[in-house]
Structures are given as structure tokens and as C-alpha cells.
Amino acid sequence: MNNYAKARAHTNIALVKYWGKRNSALKLPTTSSLSLTLDQFYTDTSVQFNETLTNDQVTFNERRLDEQSARRITDFLDLVRNQAGITTKAVVQTTNNVPTAAGLASSASGFAALAAAASKASGLRLNHRELSRLARRGSGSATRSIDGGFVEWHKGIGDRTSFATQVAPADYWDLNIIAILVNQQPKKMSSSEGMQLSQTTSPYYHEWEKLCQRDLKKLKIAIKNHNFNDLGTIAEENAMRMHALTLSATPDFCYFDADSLKAMRIVHQLRESGIPCYFTMDAGPNVKVLVEPEHRESVVSTLQTAFGPDNIIVAAPGPGVQYLT
Amino acid sequence: MNNYAKARAHTNIALVKYWGKRNSALKLPTTSSLSLTLDQFYTDTSVQFNETLTNDQVTFNERRLDEQSARRITDFLDLVRNQAGITTKAVVQTTNNVPTAAGLASSASGFAALAAAASKASGLRLNHRELSRLARRGSGSATRSIDGGFVEWHKGIGDRTSFATQVAPADYWDLNIIAILVNQQPKKMSSSEGMQLSQTTSPYYHEWEKLCQRDLKKLKIAIKNHNFNDLGTIAEENAMRMHALTLSATPDFCYFDADSLKAMRIVHQLRESGIPCYFTMDAGPNVKVLVEPEHRESVVSTLQTAFGPDNIIVAAPGPGVQYLT
């Protein structure tokens, strides 16, 4: 069946963050960013275009979404239809394997999977660059979930040049990313609002743009050299410098909660005790810990003791978009 | 008795922070700062120079300090002796009325009281500017505890021009500063180390220096106009932009703890509910809340409920150095 496709995309975690748009409609970022796609967290999405439908029908985790809730998805389908030159409505079925409590962007895997499935079902034949540009229109971080392993999202100079490319595949480096699931209250400040506020009000924002450029360069060298301490240091510093933008915004805000502080303290203590591990954080209280396999067990057991065994998920570099049909 | 003097100095809280030295020996700051002297927290210090002594004898809260612990005080006495042209040793007795748990710099009131008592006992007759320059050599923030009310510490261009002056006396503005006493662990990072790290490693430090200049200007206008919302906004923003320097340092560090986050959240919620109040924080987890008397009771009762009635101290603008003999 030509008008049907199903795809799986994995979420990713940025080591050099994306924190600001220079064009909201096109989701063009102020800086290039670099992420690692994660094997444990993914979204499966099928799209079936069907001439008999009068409206898009969207099911999310087996629950039918109303028009309002499905808006971001139907808007995205419009982009695909427009590009494919069709007007046919579709049935979209999405299953999310990204626990909300992990604080990982499910919109990254979600829009990457939707971009892959919808474009294929519509008859478009897009390569990874084109797919990443399309996914970008759904959610900025989705740009980086088309490819596996280490992925760079080039900020570009416009829509056509703002896409992602793979820096190194998932099997290039045996690393672990440990996600700590903490009880998450609904975010008071979405990442979209948060970056917008940081960008328009933090006096440090201009310096942030410059340092991301430097961090990206250094991170690519660290990846090339398999230098874990450099990779971890750059990632942790970059994350904290992003959070410094939230503190320094007007009004000031902070994504940390008590568990975040606890997790950061534990990582610092582990490092002082000679175990190389580093953390990163996004627009939420969750902390993710980077570690090499040789030290994984000691870090995992410390975190399990502190947060409970059920709240620790160990991930590794994951693959890019896969078609399931 | 000419070689004896006793003085009281109050601590102060910076509304535009001091966070970096351009000369460590002389304690010359990178930026000018502006503080409010607080009535509830003070240090009483007496100094008696006595020809028969072979060593300085220092008593702190009725406990005799050994040579090592008294070093910072005897070094300071050497400065005074040098200035007065004497070599006589002294008995120093200090009583501190600044609870450690308040997270208020007791070194500010401590060195201000010591500067006043020691200089007078030594026969020096210093005016407030000279006294503040002397106190500065003991502890940077002590510079601002010679005068009462709103006090500006001018960064100056050298030792002679880096002193404090009063912007407005204690009775100029009926304000309250509510200190929340939280269980404080010994600081992992002293303010001295913290500012040094921020200054040498945060990519945002240069911008910090510039913004302090702007904040100081705006704050003096807010004080002139009795504009509480401007004063509070400037103070809260300035504090958070200082803490952003700690997050963005290498290695990253953070003075917040779970109670700090809780207190900040409460202040934000109170403000959203229409009660004008703002927080500030220094090199520790403690949060101090600025409020006008008309809203004091509702803020105090909210904080008492959250942290326990015994942990809330309400202060007001306090006086400058007083001689008790």
C-alpha cells in the first residue's frame, strides 16, 4: 500500500544545547547544536492517507486526540501535503516510548517519526537532510532525531541550510547515558517560552551564542579523539551555561528542583572520588548522567540507592529513523 | 581610657552585589555595589591596646581563639598599628549577633566593628570614608557596614578611592528584609573562592561587570523615587545574574539548596498573587525577602507556615557604626 508508512525515531539529548530561535515560524535556531540519539527512548508512528476521510484522525498512545490537541500534528501534515502536492487527510497512530518523567523531549522523536512516516506515505522521497529539515518544522530538536549516534544540527543561513548531519554513528563510541526519572510536575515554563525569554532578556545571551560555537568545535574534537573527559566537561558546562540564561532572564526562572540539586551533587561527588561522570540537563528538573561502560555499574548503583532502582534507566547511543513497513 | 574602644557595626545585604576582586591584597572590587544595612544583625567588638601583652588575645563569642584562628584579626590589627605608628598588642573581644543560619555575612559587621574599635583605640581619628577603606582590607563587604541605610561602595581606581558613602539613611524608607533561617551545611565554596572562580572562568563575567554598572544607576533612581517594584526587580535580577555566574563557571557550582528553591518559588507565587515582594541571595542557600510594611504580615505568615515561625527574622534598615564607649 503506497499511501501508508510506519516509522520509528529515537529521542536525543543535546550535548551542546539548542536554546533560542532566530525565526519562530521556520524554527531556525540561533546556534548550531550537537546531540546523541538514545536507544531506549523512541516513538513509533504510522500514517495512512485516505481519500475517504474529511478530517485527519490522530491517535496518541491509543487515545484519540480532539481537533485542538491534534492541531500541532495536523499543521505538520499540512506542510507534508503541501510539499507532496496532495490534500488527502490521514489517520495517524503514534505510540510513545519516552516516559514523561524522563524529561526527555518526546517531541524530538515524535516529529522525527511523523516526518518520516508522513513524507513516505505521501509519496515524497526525502533523504536524511531533507527529512531533518522537515522534522525541524515540527520541533527544533526533532531535526537531530533523523540520524543516529552523534548528530549536528547546522543552524544554517535559512530554511534550506538548517538541517542535521551525522557526526559519528551509534556504534562509534560505547557510552552510556543514565536517565533519572523524577516525579515531574507539569512544567511552569515550556522550553519554547524559556528560550524565548532567555533570548530576549538575558544579558548573557549574546555570549551564549558565541560560546556554543566554541563548544561545538571542541566537542567535535573530543568525539574524534574519543576523549570522554573533554566530552563530559563540555556537555556539563554547556548545560549549566544554558541554565544560567534562565536565572539571568527577566523574570528569572529556574528548571531545577530538589532532586536536580541532589543528582548534580552526587555526580560532583562521584567525580571527586575519581569516577569520571558528567551531567546534563534540559528544560526540566531531570538530570542525565554521561558515563563510560567501565564505570557504569558504580554510577548506576549510587543513583539507584539515591533515587530508587525503578527510577534509573540506562541508555546508549541509538539509531536513526527506521521504517517499520 | 584612651587605648580602649568598643564599637557596634551592623551587617548589610547587597542589592547590587559585590562578586569579584580586581586586587586581592587590597580587596579592590571589579564593580561598585550597593547595600542596605540591617538593624537586626550586628557585631560588638572592643579593642584594648596594652603595652604589657606579648601577643594579641582574641575572644570570639566568649571563646578564646588560638593563633591560627585569630590570624585574620591579628593581620588586620597589624594594618591598624602600622597606620597608627604603634606596635602594641591588643585584647579583642567580639560578640556576634548574626546567626550563622541567616546566611548573612558576619565578616561585614565583624570587620566594620573591628575597624572602628581598633582605629579609635589606637588613637587614629578616621572619618567614615577612611574607616570604610580600612574595613575593606578586612572583608570587602565590611566596607559597606560603616554607614547605615543604603550604602554605595565605589570601586574606585585604587586603594584611596575605593570606599563607601551613604546613599540614603536608615529612616529614609520604611522597608523590611525578611531573613529565612535554614539549616545550613558548611559552605563547600566560600564567597572568596566562588567569586574568584566566577571571575576567571565564567564566559559571562565581563557582561556582569557592565550590567552591575547599569543596575547601580537604576537602583539609585529607584531609591530616589521610593519605587519599591523597581528596587525589588533590580535586586532580584542582580542576585540571580550573580548566581548565573556560578552555574557558568568551570567547574560549575551552585549555592542553592532545596529550601532556597522553595523560598524562591514562594516569593514568585506571592508576587503572582499580587503581593509585591522580591528575593535576594548571596554565597549560600539563604533567601532574604524584600517587602514593604503594608505587605509584611502576609509575607511573614506565608514564610512562617513554610519554614516554621522560629526560622523567620524580620529586619529593617539599620544604622551605621556606633561607638559604645
pLDDT tens digits along A43-74: 999 999 999 999 999 999 999 999 999 999 99
Say if residue A184's pLDDT is above 70.
no
Rounded Cα gap, residues A233 and A240, in angstroms? 11
- Tally C-beta pairs within 8 A across A and B: 72
Cβ–Cβ under 8 Å, residues B33 and B16: yes
pLDDT tens profile B44-85: 999 999 999 999 999 999 999 999 999 999 999 999 999 999
Q: Give the pLDDT confidence score for residue B181 in this predicted structure.
A: 86
Q: Give the pLDDT confidence score for residue A86 in this predicted structure.
A: 97
Q: What is the mean pLDDT of residues A8-30?
A: 97
Domain boundary among B111, B139, B170: B170
| Nearest CB neighbour to A247, from listed B207, B210, B240 | B240
Same domain, B233 and B141: no
Same domain, B14 and B143: yes
Inside any domain, residue A323: no
Say if residue B119's pLDDT is above 60.
yes
Same domain, A74 and A101: yes
Inside any domain, residue B102: yes
Same domain, A61 and A123: yes
Among candidate residues A164, A135, A131, A191, the one with its CA nearest the CA of residue A33: A164
CB contact under 8 A, A207 and B207: yes
Rounded Cα gap, residues B109 and A130, in angstroms? 64
Inside any domain, residue B321: no
Inside any domain, residue B219: yes
Same domain, A155 and A11: yes
| Nearest CB neighbour to A254, from listed B203, B204, B264 | B264
Same domain, B181 and B158: no
Say if residue B103's pLDDT is above 80.
no
Residues in CB range of B161: below 8 A, 6 or more apart: B154
Name residue B196's amino acid: Q
Inside any domain, residue B325: no
Domain boundary among B170, B205, B240: B170
Cβ within 8 Å of B, A 177-236: 203-204, 206-207, 210-211, 233, 236
Q: Give the pLDDT confidence score for residue A119 in this predicted structure.
A: 98
Q: Give the pLDDT confidence score for residue A51 in this predicted structure.
A: 95
Among candidate residues B238, B253, B131, B135, the one with its CA nearest the CA of residue B191: B253
Among candidate residues B234, B208, B249, B266, the one with its CA nearest the CA of residue A243: B249
CATH of the domain at A216: 3.30.70.890
CATH of the domain at A38: 3.30.230.10
Q: What is the mean pLDDT of residues B259-266?
A: 96
pLDDT tens profile B162-199: 999 999 999 999 999 999 987 666 677 899 999 999 99
Cβ–Cβ under 8 Å, residues A127 and A153: no
Same domain, B50 and B154: yes
Question: CB neighbours (10 Å) of residue B65?
Answer: 19
Confidence at B159, pLDDT banded by 50, 70, 90: very high
Rounded Cα gap, residues B57 and B67, in angstroms? 9
Domain boundary among B143, B170, B197: B170
Split into its structural domains, chain B has a count of 2
Q: Give the pLDDT confidence score for residue A185 in this predicted structure.
A: 67
Please tell me if residue A237 touches chain B, with a CB cutoff of 8 Å: yes
Inside any domain, residue A150: yes
Same domain, A155 and A8: yes
Handedness of CA B64, B65, B67, B73 (dihedral sign): negative
Same domain, B31 and B160: yes
Please tell me if residue A240 touches chain B, with a CB cutoff of 8 Å: yes
Question: CB neighbours (10 Å) of residue A306?
Answer: 15
Query: How far is residue A167 from each of residues A144, A151, A298, measured CA to CA in Å?
Result: 11, 5, 29
* Domain around A241: 176-315
Inside any domain, residue B103: yes
- Scanning every residue of chain A, which has its alpha carbon at the shortest distance from the alpha carbon of B248? A241
Cell numbers at residue A259, please? 532532586
Q: CA gyration radius for chain A?
A: 19
Q: What is the mean pLDDT of residues B96-111?
A: 83
pLDDT tens profile B210-252: 999 999 999 999 999 999 999 999 999 999 999 999 999 999 9
Q: Give the pLDDT confidence score for residue A102 in this predicted structure.
A: 67
Name residue B9's amino acid: A
Say if residue A188's pLDDT is above 90.
no
Give A258's Cβ-side CA count (13 Å radius): 10
Handedness of CA B127, B133, B137, B141 (dihedral sign): positive
Same domain, B191 and B230: yes
Rounded Cα gap, residues A172 and A178, in angstroms? 18
Same domain, A182 and A207: yes
Q: Give the pLDDT confidence score for residue A104 in this predicted structure.
A: 77
CB contact under 8 A, A261 and B261: yes
CB contact under 8 A, A204 and B247: no
Inside any domain, residue A268: yes
Same domain, B54 and B157: yes
SS3 state of residue B290: strand
Which of A187, A202, A214, A240 is the best mutation test for B, with the most CBs of B within 10 A?
A240
Handedness of CA A262, A267, A271, A275 (dihedral sign): positive
